Amino acid sequence: MLFLFIIVPLLLAGLLPLLGKLSKRFLPDLLASAAMLFLLVLSVVSAKPLIAGGGIIQQAFWFGAPLNIRLLLDGFSLFMLFTISLVSFAVTLYSINYMDHYGAKANYYALLLVMIAGMNGLVLSSDLFNIYIFLEMAAIASYALVAFGRGHEELEASFKYLMLSAVASAFILLSIAVIFGMTGGVSFGTVAQGLKTLNVKYVVGVCSGLFLAGFGLKAALVPFHSWLPDAHPSAPAPISAMLSAVLIKVSGVYAMTRIFLNVFGLTPALTTVLTVMGVVSIFVGALAALGQNDIKRMLAYSSISQIGYVVLGLGIGTPLGIIGGLFHLFNHALFKSLLFLNAGAVEQSTGTRALDKMGGLAKVMPLTATTSAVASLSIAGVPPLNGFWSKLLIIIALVQAKMHVLAVLAVLGSVITLWYYLVLQRYAFFGKLNEAWQGVREAPFWMSASMVLLALLCVVTGLVFPFAIHSWLQPAADVLGQGIGVALNFIGF
């Protein structure tokens, strides 16, 4: 059943270019949205009960015949699956209107579906080499999606992104090759057992370094972040949302956390490196965001800063820190995709991304302005919205772990975040309406619907956060808290 998460998008991606010949818009829109809704429902209704008693390994079936594919599902991967499905559903709804003027819609949806299949495959895989393959699959689709508009800027951003990402993949694969050379296998279980028996600290150190560089590049942690502020703003708005909200987290943070916590085991040295990288990312991202005039570039730098919070939380390694990090990951997926979708709506209506040319748009685009205000307050950590609770958890965890300096810095970063989001709101939506935008209209129906959906989720998650933590985050955090025991359990499958 879990195999559906990979094979449904992949099959549809193969069919869409053919169906696109029959109907240029209607069929691709309908099928892509239906597929995303199906995956979302599947992750909530069918996958959740499967792991009631802890993580499982499920064999894949193809029309009743068993395949030699074993998929790993536990609290952590289910949590990621749900996040991916939720954001991709909202993004697909938004694309119905937004992607019309780009042309080649069937091709666009096909690439989006391949990217989603890649991310789902990565989350469900139980072996280092599979992680690499699905990482690359999602990455190749994302290069094409960044360049989808085929303007000069898009092509250039995509090329830079491709070069850095190819190096990151090479580092990851090299590390896998070294581990394979040490332990003779690549599945989580074999590697965890092998490294435990061998007890070779320095080689694990080298491999950790390679993984850190590789996944750090994919997650755009400082100092590996230089590609993100180019690639994310250049992409079409729904793709910016997808990349910032999910791709960097799945191919960077998820893969890194899974390997470091469940396969290598978290060491104090690793905790130090991760928390320091997290805090540095928070500040570099936030300070760079302050100086931006391009709305999407500001959001892109803000992604670097917020990913810093996620890594900081996960890096602490205490149960509360992990819950805080994961909760912030989910919240960031919601509000950052919403903010990019807002920016896309503004760009489509006014034709500009420069903040100083906007002004007063709240009068003509009330829905976009309201949802954007919700997202901005959330990301800045204003109670009782969801971003407040996750940042609070991370800061409490830092205090509990006696990392007082980092806790103060995290609070400070949050203040800067509030500052630049107020700047964004003031320039874009408040004040006197710029003459040029008198005739601007609200975004079309599906774009508005998707923005309202995400804004409601931000508010609801904030209000019912104890429930969210209990039913979705706790199982995920438990998996990470068990350390390498998780991987050792799966030996023999």
Partner 1 sequence: MNNLWILNMGFVALLIGIGLYCLLAMKNTVKLLIGVEIIAKGVTLALVASGYARDNLMLAQAMVITVIVIDVAVIATALALIISINRHTKSLDVSKLTQLKG
Partner 2 sequence: MHLFLLIGLVAFSIMAVLSRDLLKSAISLAVASIFLALVFFHLGAVYAGVFELSVVAGLITVLFITAIALTRNDGEVAESKRHRIVFPLFFLALAVLDILVMRKLLGQIPAIQGAGSGTFSQVLWNQRTFDLVGQVGAIFAGVLAVLALFRHDSPKGDSHE
Residues that bind partner 1 (CB under 8 A): 129, 133, 136-137, 140, 143-144, 147, 150, 152-153, 155-160, 162-163, 166-167, 170, 173-174, 177-178, 180-181, 183-186, 226-227, 229-230, 234
In angstroms, what is the minimal distance from the CB of 488 to partner 1?
A: 20
* C-beta of 182 vs 373, nearer to partner 2: 182
Helices (H), 235-318: 237-242, 248, 255-257, 268-290, 295-316
Which range of residues in 41-49, 144-152, 285-293, 444-452 is near partner 2 by CB under 8 A?
A: 144-152
* C-beta of 15 vs 373, nearer to partner 2: 15
148 binds, among partner 1, partner 2, none (CB under 5 to 8 A by kind): partner 2
User: Rounded to whole angstroms, how far apart are CA atoms 195 and 184?
Assistant: 11
User: Rounded to whole angstroms, how far apart are CA atoms 408 and 411?
Assistant: 5
Question: Looking only at residues 153 through 192 of this chain, which bind partner 2 when binding is defined by CB under 8 A?
Answer: 153, 181-185
44 binds, among partner 2, partner 1, none (CB under 5 to 8 A by kind): none
Give the list of residues 6+ apart from residue 117 with CB closer than 8 angstroms, or none.
Answer: 5, 6, 7, 9, 10, 13, 137
Give the list of residues 6+ apart from residue 412 with CB closer than 8 angstroms, or none.
Answer: none
What residue type is 287 in one-letter code?
L
Which H helix or E strand runs over 71? Answer: strand 65-73
357 alpha-carbon distance from chain centroid? 30
In angstroms, what is the minimal distance from the CB of 225 to partner 1?
A: 10
User: Rounded to whole angstroms, how far apart are CA atoms 28 and 284?
Assistant: 40
Look up residue 334 and give its two tokens: 């919601």
CB atoms within 10 A of CB 21: 9
Determine phi and psi for 265, rounding to 5 degrees.
Answer: 85, 135
* C-beta of 357 vs 363, nearer to partner 2: 357
In angstroms, what is the minimal distance from the CB of 254 to partner 2?
A: 17
Query: How many residues of this chain bind partner 2 (CB under 8 A)?
Result: 52
In angstroms, what is the minimal distance from the CB of 149 to partner 2?
A: 5
Pick from 47, 147, 334, 339 the residue near partner 2 by CB under 8 A: 147
Q: Does residue 476 contact residue 79 with C-beta atoms inside 8 Å?
A: yes
In angstroms, what is the minimal distance from the CB of 198 to partner 2?
A: 5
In angstroms, what is the minimal distance from the CB of 144 to partner 2?
A: 3
Pick from 82, 148, 188, 264 the residue near partner 2 by CB under 8 A: 148
User: Rounded to whole angstroms, how far apart are CA atoms 342 and 244?
Assistant: 14
CB atoms within 10 A of CB 24: 15
Which range of residues in 132-140, 250-258, 262-270, 290-298 is near partner 2 by CB under 8 A?
A: 132-140
Count how many Cα atoms sit within 13 Å of the Cα of residue 87 in the half-sphere of its side chain. Answer: 35
* C-beta of 107 vs 267, nearer to partner 2: 107
Residues in the chain: 493
Using rule CB under 8 A, residue 151 touches partner 2:
yes
Question: Looking only at residues 366 through 385 of this chain, which bind partner 2 when binding is defined by CB under 8 A?
Answer: none
Maximum distance among all Cα pairs of the chain, rounded to whole angstroms: 71
Q: Does residue 132 contact residue 123 with C-beta atoms inside 8 Å?
A: no
Using rule CB under 8 A, residue 141 touches partner 2:
yes
Q: Per-residue x/- marks for partner 2, 186-205, CB under 8 A?
A: --------x--xx-x--x--
Applying CB under 8 A, which residues contact partner 2?
A: 6-7, 10, 13-14, 17, 67-70, 101-104, 107-108, 110-111, 114-115, 117-118, 121, 125, 127, 129-130, 133-134, 136-137, 140-141, 143-144, 147-153, 181-185, 194, 197-198, 200, 203
